[in-house]
């Protein structure tokens, strides 16, 4: 595997400021993930609304000590730095911009754009029977394909595609977040793909709703993160994804991981296409296809059971079956996906120019203003992050559903805010 820190090609499209907590007005806590707490924050200098992820230094040191005690050379600081480097490299409208980094003696973290539309998991729950329509699935699936294509062309394997990591931006387009589990391999050889830096990032200041650009020419109606580069070995087998390398790291969220990750045979870019198949199945049926009563049963089903695609044969079900091919060498590739009948008629160059996606989140300024009466003090923020992970429960966190104690999350020095159920997602 390429060394993550030294060989990540950096092509930053903007200068990345270094924040301190005095520059940021912390509006409220949004939620927590396996490694950090996410806050809604306002940059006092630029008056920008941001999502701020903070990680406790004590938690990092504890994990490092545990790994070193097990004979591992893993370094949690290295993973945090790598994630920031990935974010600083990205220049794509469906991926985050690194808006700033922050480090104190108690916490460290970074800020990206805030997505007021929450995530696909919460959006699915708002749908009739908690399932998406075929047209909505097609739109979001196409955007996921474009985002993954861009990452793969940079040599980045995402490795954590799931609805909770697919946010809805203010303009209605998706944004993949959380690169904590991603890794760097040799970039795939694009044949019909766009070059990595061919997409110019352009986010409108306001969401335009007057005109709908054509989407198609004819409309078709908890695995604990344990990945340090030093732990991953490299294989030189060439696969359908055109990668010369494989990672043997055991990472991901258990219902979404590919068979080759479970078996430990080495994996490459093809694991992201497997995860896409799981996400599409969940969008269509409201559940993942291989979930068992426990982790052991889930892994057994991933390795041995075919997906149960109930209903009449459709191009979407056929695509899901091709994505959920257990042999990565036989799994459908990028070119096969973009040329599949399910996407027939789509003009891939127009997708990101659509000005009226299926769902446009309500404008968030009023909501933010309502929260922004007192704010959280610097001491509150650092103390809360430390206390959140002080009990050693960070590795037990359910990354699938981002469960949080909403009362504890926003109860600081007399301030209390209770968000709606599943109102916010974290990264």
Residue 316 CA to residue 284 CA, distance in Å, equals 9
Q: Which residue has the tokens 């996606």?
A: 357
For 126-142, give the DSSP string.
TSGGG---HHHHHHHHH
Annotated catalytic residue within 160, 180, 272, 394: 160
Token pair of 204 as six digits: 């409108």
Token pair of 345 as six digits: 């008629």
Residue 172 CA to residue 361 CA, distance in Å, equals 7
DSSP symbol at 250: -
For 315-363, give the DSSP string.
HHHHHHHHHT-SSTTTS--HHHHHTSGGGTTB-TTTGGG-SS-S--PPP
Q: Which residue has the tokens 């068979």?
A: 259
Size of the chain in residues = 427
Total Cβ atoms within 10 A of residue 257: 25
198-206's contacts with Cβ under 8 Å and 24+ in sequence apart are 199/91, 199/92, 199/93, 199/150, 199/352, 200/91, 201/13, 201/91, 201/92, 201/93, 201/97, 202/93, 203/93, 203/113, 203/169, 203/171, 204/171
- Cα angle at 112 between 391 and 182, to 5 degrees? 70
Query: Environment class of residue 355 by beta-carbon count within 10 Å: exposed (0-12), middle (13-18) or buried (19+)?
Result: middle
Token pair of 87 as six digits: 């974010």
Contact 215, 346 (CB under 8 A): yes
Residue 303 CA to residue 292 CA, distance in Å, equals 12
Contact 391, 405 (CB under 8 A): no
For 142-173, give the DSSP string.
HHHHHHHHHHHHTTEE-----GGGEEE-TTS-
Residue 352 CA to residue 202 CA, distance in Å, equals 10
- Whether 3 is catalytic is no
Q: List residues with catalytic annotation.
A: 160
């Amino acid at each position: 595997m390429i060394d993550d820190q030294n060989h990540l090609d950096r092509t930053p499209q903007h200068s990345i400021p270094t924040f301190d907590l005095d520059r940021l007005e912390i509006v409220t806590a949004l939620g927590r993930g396996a490694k950090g707490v996410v806050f809604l924050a306002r940059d006092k200098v630029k008056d920008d609304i941001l999502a701020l992820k903070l990680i406790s230094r004590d938690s990092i040191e504890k994990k490092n000590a545990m790994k070193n005690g097990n004979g591992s050379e893993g370094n949690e600081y290295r993973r945090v730095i790598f994630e920031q480097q990935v974010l600083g490299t990205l220049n794509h409208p469906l991926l985050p911009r690194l808006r700033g980094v922050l480090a104190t003696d108690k916490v460290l973290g970074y800020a990206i754009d805030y997505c007021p539309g929450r995530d696909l998991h919460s959006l699915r729950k708002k749908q009739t029977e908690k399932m998406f329509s075929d047209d909505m699935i097609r739109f979001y699936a196409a955007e996921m394909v474009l985002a993954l294509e861009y990452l793969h062309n940079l040599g980045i394997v995402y490795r954590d595609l799931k609805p909770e990591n697919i946010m809805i931006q203010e303009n209605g387009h998706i944004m993949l977040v959380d690169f904590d589990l991603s890794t760097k391999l040799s970039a795939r050889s694009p044949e019909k793909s766009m070059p990595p830096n061919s997409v110019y990032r352009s986010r409108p200041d306001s969401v335009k709703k007057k005109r709908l650009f054509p989407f198609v020419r004819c409309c078709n109606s908890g695995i604990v993160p344990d990945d340090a580069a030093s732990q991953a070995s490299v294989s030189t087998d060439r696969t359908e994804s055109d990668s010369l390398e494989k990672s043997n790291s055991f990472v991901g969220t258990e219902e979404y991981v590919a068979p080759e990750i479970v078996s430990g045979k080495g994996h490459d870019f093809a694991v992201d296409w497997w995860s896409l198949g799981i996400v599409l199945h969940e969008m269509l049926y409201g559940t993942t296809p291989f979930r068992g009563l426990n982790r052991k049963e889930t892994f057994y089903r991933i390795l041995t059971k075919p997906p149960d695609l109930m209903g009449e044969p459709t191009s979407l079900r056929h695509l899901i079956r091709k994505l959920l091919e257990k042999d990565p060498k036989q799994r459908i590739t990028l070119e096969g996906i973009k040329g599949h009948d399910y996407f027939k008629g789509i003009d891939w160059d127009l997708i990101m120019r659509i000005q009226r996606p299926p769902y446009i989140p309500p404008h968030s300024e009023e909501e933010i203003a309502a929260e922004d009466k007192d704010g959280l003090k610097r001491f509150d923020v650092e103390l809360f992050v430390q206390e959140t992970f002080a009990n050693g429960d960070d590795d037990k966190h359910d990354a699938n559903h981002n469960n949080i104690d909403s009362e504890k999350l926003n109860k600081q020095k007399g301030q209390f805010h209770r968000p709606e159920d599943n109102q916010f997602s974290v990264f």
